[in-house]
Structure 1
Amino acid sequence: MVGVPRSKGCGLCVQRRVKCDQNRPACANCIKYGAECPGYEKGHKFVAVKHAIRSRGQKQRRAYETQLDLSSALTEDTMLQPDEDVSNPRVSTWLATRDATTHAPQSTPGVPGSLCKPALPFVYNMMCELFGIHSRSEVVYSAPWFTSLLNYLGRAPALDTAMCAFMLQLVGSSKRDEGEISRGRDLYGQALRSLQMALNHPVAWKSTETLAATMLCCHFELFAGTLDPVSWMTHAAGVSKLIQHRGRRCFSSPIEKDLLRGFRPIISLQCIFAGEDCFLDQPKWQKLSSSLSLVAVGDGKEYDGVAEPFGALDSSWSRCHDGYFVLLAKVPPVTRVAYEFREDKKNGIAPDPSRVNQLAQQAGRLHSDYRTWYDGAVSGGAILPPIEVPSQDPNSPFDTVLKFSNPWIGSFFTCYWATLIILQEALNECQVGQEQRPYDESNQELVRDILRSLEHVGHGIMGPYRIAYPLRVAYEFVDLPLQMWVESALERYSQQWAALSPETFPRLHGKSGPQLFSDAGSDGTRL
Structure 2
Amino acid sequence: MVGVPYSKGCLLCLERRIRCDQSIPHCHQCRRYGVVCPGYKRPWQFQDEGPRLQKRYQKFSVTSNHNFQDNPQTIRRGGSIRTHLFANASIDERVYPALINQCYISQQPRMFKDFICAAFPTMFFHNEFRFGDGFTFPDWVLKHFGTKPYYDASVSCLSAQYLAHLTGDPSINHFSRQKYSQALAAVRQVLNSDEEASSDALLLAVILLSFYEMTTRTTRDAWVCHSRAVKHIMLKRGMNLHLTGAGRVCHFAYRPFLIAAAIHEGEPCFLGEDDWQDLAAFLRAEDSQKQSEWSLYIDAYEAIFMELVKCPRYIQEAREVVSIASPKARVLEQYIVMTCDRLRTLSDELRSLLASYNQRKLGIVCRGFIGPEPNRFPETSPSLLLSAAVNTLGILEQLLFRLNTPVCIDEEDSSSSNVALSPISQSTSTSNASGPCLDFRLVCELGEGIQKDDPRAFTWLDRVAGSMGLLGAKAIH
Shared fold per TM-score greater than 0.5: yes
**Which of 343, 346, 352 is residue 373 of structure 1 equivalent to?**
346
Normalising by structure 2, what TM-score? 0.58
The residue number in structure 1 matching 2:305 is 325
The residue number in structure 1 matching 2:316 is 336
**Which of 169, 176, 192 is residue 161 of structure 2 equivalent to?**
169
Q: Distance in 1 between matches of 2:213 and 2:182?
A: 14
What SS does the corresponding residue of 1:226 show, helix, strand or coil? coil
**Residues 310-346 of structure 1 deviation map (CA, whole Å, 9 limit, x = unaligned):** xx872112223322222222111111133345xx7xx
Structure 1 residue identity aligned to 2:308: L
The residue number in structure 2 matching 1:96 is 101
**Which of 233, 239, 245 is residue 242 of structure 1 equivalent to?**
233
**RMSD, aligned CA:** 4.3
Shift of residue 425 of structure 1? 1.9
- CA 1:169–1:331 in 2, change beyond 3 Å: closer, same or farther? same
Q: Distance in 1 between matches of 2:84 and 2:242?
A: 45
Contact 2:123 2:462 in 1 (8 A): no
The residue number in structure 2 matching 1:198 is 190
- CA 1:471–1:80 in 2, change beyond 3 Å: closer, same or farther? farther
Matches within 5 A, 1:11-410: 96=101, 119-125=105-111, 127-128=113-114, 134=118, 137-138=121-122, 140-141=124-125, 144=128, 145-148=136-139, 149-228=141-220, 230-292=221-283, 314-341=294-321, 350-351=323-324, 353-381=326-354, 403-410=376-383
Contact 1:378 1:384 in 2 (8 A): no
Structure 2 residue identity aligned to 1:137: P
Shift of residue 170 of structure 1? 2.8
Q: Distance in 1 between matches of 2:341 and 2:87?
A: 64
- CA 1:135–1:197 in 2, change beyond 3 Å: closer, same or farther? closer
- CA 1:184–1:294 in 2, change beyond 3 Å: closer, same or farther? farther
Shift of residue 247 of structure 1? 0.8
Instruction: Judge which range, 172-181 or 314-323, deviates more.
Output: 172-181
Q: Distance in 2 between matches of 1:365 and 1:152?
A: 45
**Residues 154-212 of structure 1 deviation map (CA, whole Å, 9 limit, x = unaligned):** 22222211011111223323544333222111101111111122222221122111111
The residue number in structure 2 matching 1:41 is none
Q: Distance in 2 between matches of 1:286 and 1:180?
A: 42
Matches within 5 A, 1:432-471: 432-433=405-406, 459=456, 461-463=458-460, 465-466=462-463, 469-470=469-470
Contact 1:271 1:278 in 2 (8 A): yes
- CA 1:154–1:413 in 2, change beyond 3 Å: closer, same or farther? same
Contact 2:324 2:403 in 1 (8 A): no
- CA 1:162–1:404 in 2, change beyond 3 Å: closer, same or farther? same
Determine which structure has the larger helix proportion and give its number. Answer: 2
Shift of residue 353 of structure 1? 2.3
Shift of residue 472 of structure 1? 3.6
Structure of higher CA gyration radius: 2
Structure 2 residue identity aligned to 1:168: A
Q: Distance in 1 between matches of 2:177 and 2:217?
A: 10
Structure 1 residue identity aligned to 2:473: V
What SS does the corresponding residue of 2:381 show, helix, strand or coil? helix
Contact 1:289 1:326 in 2 (8 A): yes
Contact 1:317 1:382 in 2 (8 A): no
Structure 2 residue identity aligned to 1:461: F
- CA 1:94–1:158 in 2, change beyond 3 Å: closer, same or farther? farther
What SS does the corresponding residue of 1:290 show, helix, strand or coil? helix
- CA 1:464–1:385 in 2, change beyond 3 Å: closer, same or farther? farther
- CA 1:357–1:364 in 2, change beyond 3 Å: closer, same or farther? same
What SS does the corresponding residue of 1:204 show, helix, strand or coil? coil
**Residues 241-286 of structure 1 deviation map (CA, whole Å, 9 limit, x = unaligned):** 1100111122243332011111111112211221212221222211
What SS does the corresponding residue of 1:320 show, helix, strand or coil? helix
- CA 1:233–1:96 in 2, change beyond 3 Å: closer, same or farther? same
Higher relative contact order (CA 8 A, sep 6+): 2
* Residue 390 of structure 2 corresponds to residue 431 of structure 1: no
Structure 1 residue identity aligned to 2:265: A
Shift of residue 86 of structure 1? 10
Normalising by structure 1, what TM-score? 0.53
- CA 1:413–1:183 in 2, change beyond 3 Å: closer, same or farther? same
Q: Distance in 1 between matches of 2:267 and 2:471?
A: 21
The residue number in structure 1 matching 2:449 is none
